Amino acid sequence: MLRNVFCKSLRDQTRPLVMWVLGVAFYVALLLSIYPSIRHSAGQLQGYISSLPAAVRAAFLGPGGDFSSPVGYVNTELLSWLAPVVFIAFAVSIAARSVAGEEEDGTLSLLLAHTVGRRRLVLHKYAAMIVIVTILGLAFWLALLVATAIAGTPVGAGTLAEALLRLTLLGLAVGSVTFAVSGACGRRQAGIAAGAGVGVAMYLLNTLAQMNADIRPFRFLSLFHYSGGAAPLGQDLDAVGLAVLLGVSAALLLVTLVLFERRDIRV
Amino acid sequence: MLLDLIRPTSGRALVLGRDSHRDTLAIQALSGYLPGELSLYPTLTGSETLRYLANLRGGVEWEHVRALSERLDCDLTKKVSDLSSGNKRKLGLISAFMARPELLILDEPTSGLDPLVQHEFYALIDEVRDAGQTVFLSSHVLPEVQRVCDRVAFIREGELIALEDVSGLTGRAVREIEVVFAEAIPPAAFAGVPGVTQVSVDGKNATTLRLTVTGPVDAAIKKLGEFRVLDLTSRLPDLEDVFMTFYTDGGDHAA
C-alpha cells in the first residue's frame, strides 16, 4: 500500500470509508425494517401527503412523495435528499484531504521532492478519490439490494445500480469542485466551503425549479437535474445527464492540473 | 525554488546544468532534500515512511537505508508520532541521503540531534563531499558552518549579499569580550587597539569592560595583559554578528 501516491491515498482513506459504509448500511437496514409497517398504513399516509401544499411536498418529499411502492419509498426516504447529501459530503471530505490535506500537513513538499511531479500527484489523488467514492456507491447499492430483498420488497439490481451510478457521479462532480478549489489554493476549508456551497445552491435551485415556473428554465444549471433530481430510482439512465456529470468532473480535474502546476507550494 | 516548489518572480535557476522549472524531475532525481520544518506521516513507522519515499523515488538500495539508519542510530520500528523531533530529523536525513544524490539540500540539518549523532552526521557530510557530491546546508550555527562548509553565502531579504570562503569569514567574525579587572579601568586605554570597534565600561567602580572585537583578538588580549584581570568571558560570535559586519562593511566599500 506504499507503492505510490495512489495506493497510499487509498490506504489513508480506508478508515473513513469503513465508517461511512457502516453508517450507510445501518441506515438502510433501519429504513427498510420499518417499511412493512409503513406500507400497511400507506393509504392514510398518502392521503395526508396529498393534503399538504404542493410547495411543501416538493421541498421535503420531492415530486414523488410516494410511500405506496418500494421504489417510491426508497426514493422519498433515501435517494431524494439523504443519499445525495451522503455522497456529496463524503466526496467533498475526501477531495479536501487530497492535495490540500497533504499541503496543510506539510507532507506535500516531501512528496514533490521525491520526484513525484505535480501532474502525477494530482492524477493519483484524483484517481484515489474516484475509487473511494465508487466503493461507497457499491456499498450503498449492496446494502439496498440486500435490505429490500430481506424486507420482501425487492427492487431490481439494475434499477438500483442506475440510481447509485447517478449519485456516485453527482458526488464526484461536487467533490471535484472541492478538489479544484482546495488544490488551487492549498486550503482544505476553502475547498469544503466551495463544495458545500455549490451542493446546497444546486439542490435549492433544483427544488425551487419544481415549484416555481419562473425558475424552471434555469434548472439545467443544477447538477441535481442530471442525477435524477428527487427521484433517482426508477428513471432511465439518460446519456446527456451522465455526460454532463462526467464532463463537469473532467473539466474541474483539468482546471486543477493547470492551477496546481502554476502556483507555489507552501513549504 | 531549486526543486521548483516555489517559483521565482523573475529569472531562472540552473541546477547541475538543468533548468529548475523545465527539468524539475531530473533535478529532483539527482538531489536529496531535507526541509527546515519536516513533516512526516504520523501513522507510519520509520521504515514504512522510508519505504514509501524510496518507492516514490525509485532506485534506492534498501541496504544503504539500513546502513544509514544504523549510523545515525535511528529506530525504524517506531511510529513517527512516537518519535522525538531529533529522531524525525534522522528519518528526514536518511531520506535525503538514501538515493546517493549528486546534490544535497539540507535546511538546519542538526537541529534536535544529540551531539553523538551530530558528529556522525558531520562525518557523513565529509564522506559525501569526498565522493564528489555537493551539499547545500543552511544553518544559523557558526561552529557547524565552520566545521562542514567550504564556502558560505549570505542571503538577506531574498538577495545574495555575499559569497565567501569559510576561512575568510572567520577572520571577520565579531566577538564580544567581557573582562572584570581588579581596579577601575579607563576605557580610553583600549580605544586605539587594532580590531576593537566598541568599548564600554560599567559595573561597580567601573571595573567591568566590554569590548567588541572584529577579526583576530590578538592585539586586544595583549593589551589586557597590562592590567590585573579577574575574569574573562568571550561570547561565541554568531552568524548574526558576522552578517552585520558584512552589512556594514559593504556599506563602507560602497562609500
User: Which pLDDT score, from 0 to 100, does residue A169 have?
Assistant: 95
Between chains, do A113 and B28 touch, taking CB under 8 Å as contact?
yes
- State the DSSP code for B15: E
Of the three residues B111, B138, B165, the one that is the final residue of a domain is: B138
Residue B87 corresponds to which amino acid? N
For chain B, give me the number of helices (H) and strands (E)? 9, 11
Task: Answer whether residue A1 shows pLDDT above 90.
Answer: no
Whether residue B95 sits in one domain with residue B187: no
User: Which pLDDT score, from 0 to 100, does residue A66 have?
Assistant: 66
Among A84, A82, A70, which residue's Cα sits nearest to residue A34? Answer: A70
Q: How confident is residue B242, by pLDDT bands cut at 50, 70 and 90?
A: low
| Interatomic CA distance for residues A154 and A146, integer angstroms | 9
Any domain includes B245: no
Distance to chain B for A118, nearest Cα, Å: 9
Whether residue B181 sits in one domain with residue B92: no
Q: Residues B118, B122, B128, B134: is their CA dihedral positive or negative?
A: positive
Higher-pLDDT residue of B230 and B248 is B230
Whether residue B33 sits in one domain with residue B112: yes
Any domain includes B57: yes
In chain A, where do the E strands start and end? none
For residue range A61-97, what is the model confidence (pLDDT) as tens digits? 555 556 667 777 777 778 877 889 999 999 999 999 9
Between chains, do B53 and A110 touch, taking CB under 8 Å as contact?
yes
B37 interaction partners in chain A (CB closer than 8 Å): 106, 267
Q: Classify residue A38 as exposed, middle or buried by CB count within 10 Å of its CB (0-12, 13-18, 19+).
A: middle
H or E stretch including A252?
helix A239-262
- Beta carbons within 8 Å of A155's beta carbon, 6+ residues apart: A70, A71, A74, A144, A145, A148, A233
CA nearest to B42 within chain A: A105
Tell me how crowded residue B188 is: count the other CB atoms within 10 A of its CB: 9
Q: What is the mean pLDDT of chain A?
A: 87
Distance to chain A for B66, nearest Cα, Å: 18
Whether residue B89 sits in one domain with residue B178: no
Between chains, do A114 and B41 touch, taking CB under 8 Å as contact?
no
User: Which pLDDT score, from 0 to 100, does residue A96 have?
Assistant: 96
Distance to chain A for B97, nearest Cα, Å: 12
| Interatomic CA distance for residues A247 and B19, integer angstroms | 36
Any domain includes B53: yes
Tell me how crowded residue B236 is: count the other CB atoms within 10 A of its CB: 11
Task: Answer whether residue A214 shows pLDDT above 80.
Answer: yes
User: Considering its fold, how many domains does chain B have in total?
Assistant: 2
Whether residue B193 sits in one domain with residue B81: no
Any domain includes B67: yes
Domain that holds residue B133: 14-138
Among the residue ranges A135-139, B29-33, B49-53, B155-159, the one predicted with the least confidence is: B155-159
Give the B-side interface with A, CB within 8 Å.
3, 5-7, 24-25, 28-29, 31, 33, 35-41, 44, 48, 51-53, 55-58, 95
Whether residue B120 sits in one domain with residue B183: no
For residue range B119-177, what is the model confidence (pLDDT) as tens digits? 999 999 999 999 989 999 988 777 788 788 888 887 777 778 778 787 776 666 677 88
Q: How confident is residue B254, by pLDDT bands cut at 50, 70 and 90?
A: very low
Q: Residues B80, B86, B87, B93: is their CA dihedral positive or negative?
A: positive
Q: How confident is residue A152, by pLDDT bands cut at 50, 70 and 90?
A: confident
CA nearest to B34 within chain A: A110
Task: Answer whether residue B180 shows pLDDT above 90.
Answer: no
Among the residue ranges A1-10, A181-190, B15-24, the one predicted with the least confidence is: B15-24
Q: Residues A208, A211, A213, A214: is their CA dihedral positive or negative?
A: negative
User: Which pLDDT score, from 0 to 100, does residue B241 have?
Assistant: 64
- Beta carbons within 8 Å of B232's beta carbon, 6+ residues apart: B177, B178, B179, B180, B224
B53 interaction partners in chain A (CB closer than 8 Å): 110, 114
Whether residue B29 sits in one domain with residue B108: yes
CA nearest to A116 within chain B: B56
Between chains, do B5 and A112 touch, taking CB under 8 Å as contact?
yes
Tell me how crowded residue A30 is: count the other CB atoms within 10 A of its CB: 10
Between chains, do A106 and B29 touch, taking CB under 8 Å as contact?
no
Whether residue B134 sits in one domain with residue B183: no
Between chains, do A2 and B7 touch, taking CB under 8 Å as contact?
no
CATH number at residue B133: 3.40.50.300
Any domain includes B200: yes
Grid coordinates representing B77 are: 520500528
Among A103, A126, A82, A89, which residue's Cα sits nearest to residue A249? Answer: A126
Distance to chain B for A2, nearest Cα, Å: 5
ipTM: 0.84
Identify the residue among B56, B62, B81 best suited for mutation to test binding to A, counting A beta carbons within 10 A and taking the highest. B56
Task: Answer whether residue B251 shows pLDDT above 60.
Answer: no
Residue A179 corresponds to which amino acid? F
Task: Answer whether residue A221 shows pLDDT above 80.
Answer: yes
Mean pLDDT throughout B167-195? 78
Q: How confident is residue A258, by pLDDT bands cut at 50, 70 and 90?
A: very high
Whether residue B134 sits in one domain with residue B231: no
Distance to chain A for B22, nearest Cα, Å: 12
B44 interaction partners in chain A (CB closer than 8 Å): 2
Say if residues A80 and A64 touch (Cβ distance below 8 Å). yes
Q: Of A125-139, A220-234, B24-38, which one has max mean pLDDT? A: A125-139
User: Which pLDDT score, from 0 to 100, does residue A42 have?
Assistant: 67
CATH number at residue B203: 3.30.70.100
User: Which pLDDT score, from 0 to 100, does residue B252 have?
Assistant: 39
B41 interaction partners in chain A (CB closer than 8 Å): 107
Say if residues A25 and A146 touch (Cβ distance below 8 Å). no
Per this entry, what is the length of chain B?
255
CA nearest to B31 within chain A: A113
Q: How confident is residue B243, by pLDDT bands cut at 50, 70 and 90?
A: low
Between chains, do A4 and B35 touch, taking CB under 8 Å as contact?
no
B157-162's contacts with Cβ under 8 Å and 24+ in sequence apart are B161/B246, B161/B247, B161/B250, B162/B246, B162/B250
The minimal CB distance from B25 to the residues A4, A111, A115 is found for A115
Whether residue B182 sits in one domain with residue B120: no
Task: Answer whether residue B250 shows pLDDT above 50.
Answer: no
Task: Answer whether residue A234 shows pLDDT above 50.
Answer: yes
